[in-house]
A and B are shown apart, each in its own frame.
Chain A
């Protein structure tokens, strides 16, 4: 004990900490401070290497320069939420953190790194990650941790009331107990958190995320309207613009069906979507359904382009039940034959794994983060379904941070701003070189577990 203490103590840790929430779709990265500001400090970098149809290759943030997303192909180093392919990830990191003109340029020798990973990652991937961080990038010190528990460091009541700060005169600190629902690109996880630590036996994962929703929408549109199977970017854009979670699925499905004929009254549930052509139109857009167009692009699924509408060169199709059937998968995965419980039931499964006395506190502090939380109607639907499942005398409180995508990063940045806390967690490069990567994994595992 004594020699190790004396060896590490004199070498002070660098003051700067880079916080990286390495998601499958985007990297959320920025430097930690006492009071991090998500709008300025957090940069969102697409975590992909993309190739356009003119064979140009875009790495990470270079995607902003791209003007033509037709037939875009993506290579993503994070697979099912876990960092698998370091060859591609290294290139994206180099471009984001180490190149001469990188926005977040850092000297790894003078920087601490806080990196998130998805829960229950295979050990081989964890140890690959540690080795690359220390041997290739040579960060001065590093802490790898699970993403969801970091949200415990967010001051949730401040986040949700940024619009009217007067409503909470005294910013409260975080509740000791919180049930975190993280619904991201690869999967959706439920993590009960106690004092900032995950309660592992009650952690649950649903294998549905934004990626599966996009792919499902892609398939539906391709069957009914246009062949968009090779257009992941365009379909993702459609999903973000038109999809919503229905509060009454059967009613909405019937409504769309009744209004399928063009001669009936216009239906607010059915929208026309105009595809981008990357010549005159850079971005697709939504407009109310045009009855004169609908003859061609009716419920039967004819091609809208030949419908003889306002502009001859417009690719239009109408979206009806696709708008809410797709996000519905999060609530009823059995719609595509998946043998997993939906999100509300998964929350209950997770609660059942906890001692009964902890449940009321968890129910009263549920937090939803991740990109899917931004789908309109998601929170309302989740709340109403959970309300019908939990006992009436228990209080149910579901919150969403003002920016659910950056929430995990923000929590990490706040934790990293606390120097004393970080000292016990970070592993320095010297320690790694002396004790090896298996010691580092054991150290991180011990910090995961400790209560």
Chain B
């Protein structure tokens, strides 16, 4: 049987209207409640280790409840409030012309952030994976025409400066904040300065400044020297600065490290350590008093 594979195309316009490629991120607890699968299927899936993240000691139902709780906490207002924008008199438009179609479309858009984010992610998933060398695209290339912007010129100036004056320049240097102690100065100076080109050639010269004291005075003191590995070259920093911004999901902080303390549990009623699990719903309580309060009002309320 021939192997058919659809290759991602660069242009999104080739896609037929009405559908889109969506990245399959595996088991999503937020969708489990909408499309509940048969328990047997779920067991089989969990056993096969499809999603390692979901194989915790929590059941899918508990995970869904936690997920929903976090989403609830992240909402702007408790209930979905509909507040209309008050109508205003047309006088206020003043000298401005008529509303353009673009503006009308944007103002009438009812899209939420989740919609925009889904669009963005689908778009990113469609893009062909970039080669490492093109990860930091040259603005000249992205601008379409071989035309030099002021930014290009600045960049070239910086590059020229680097070639003209290799590693050794010391003496004038950008500095750490005033409140820094000598040890900190030594470290931050060592980390930043020695390979930088002269400040007057960089575009950032308004922000970096020089100090009156001689840097070598502080650096020669053996007590203040920090054992640092080799310094990053200016090009290395430049490379780091020229990466394009991360996407929304890529910028999210990672999970806690594996040697972090285990999750803490609190009593649902009073907030003290939750030492006892409710047999029926798994919520935590701390004492008999809280247990009975839980049984009276909270237990089975959400799981009935």
Contact = CB atoms under 8 A, between A and B. Distances in A.
A49 interface: yes
B245 to A, nearest CB: 5
Contacts of B149: 443, 446
Interface stretch (B15-23, B41-49, B104-112): B104-112
Contact of A337 (B66, B74, B256): B66
B98 to A, nearest CB: 10
A358 B237 contact: yes
Contacts of B96: 136-138
Contact of A357 (B175, B231, B242): B231
Interface stretch (A14-22, A285-293, A306-314, A391-399): A391-399
Contacts of A379: none
Contact of B142 (A137, A203, A442): A442
Interface residues of B, number: 114
Contacts of B3: none
A73 B79 CA distance: 9
Contacts, number: 346
Contacts of A340: 252-256
A120 B248 contact: yes
Interface in A134-168: 135-138, 146, 152-153, 156-157, 160, 168
A321 B272 contact: yes
A374 interface: no
A257 B191 contact: no
A341 B254 contact: yes
Contact of A199 (B142, B241, B290): B241
A87 interface: yes
A158 B135 CA distance: 39
Nearest to B65: A337
Interface stretch (B31-39, B113-121, B163-171): B113-121
Contact of A176 (B174, B238, B257): B174
Given A200-B246, A337-B70, A421-B206, A124 B86 contact: no
Nearest to B255: A339
Given A230-B79, A424-B151, A201 B240 contact: yes
A157 B76 contact: no
A154 to B, nearest CB: 11
Q: Please name the 6 residue pairs, one residue from A and one from B, whose CB atoms are nearest each other, closest first.
A: A451-B241, A172-B178, A337-B66, A361-B188, A195-B204, A395-B184
Given A90-B107, A202-B240, A204-B252, 7 more contacts: A86-B107, A157-B178, A199-B243, A203-B245, A223-B268, A442-B142, A445-B244
10 contacts: A74-B76, A131-B102, A132-B107, A175-B177, A176-B192, A177-B188, A177-B192, A260-B270, A300-B269, A418-B206
Interface of B: 53, 66, 69-70, 72-79, 81, 83-86, 88, 92, 94-97, 99-100, 102-103, 106-109, 111-113, 116-117, 119-120, 123, 136, 139, 142-143, 147-151, 154-155, 158, 174-181, 183-184, 187-188, 190-192, 202, 204, 206-209, 226-232, 236-248, 250-257, 260, 263-264, 266, 268-273, 289-290, 293, 298
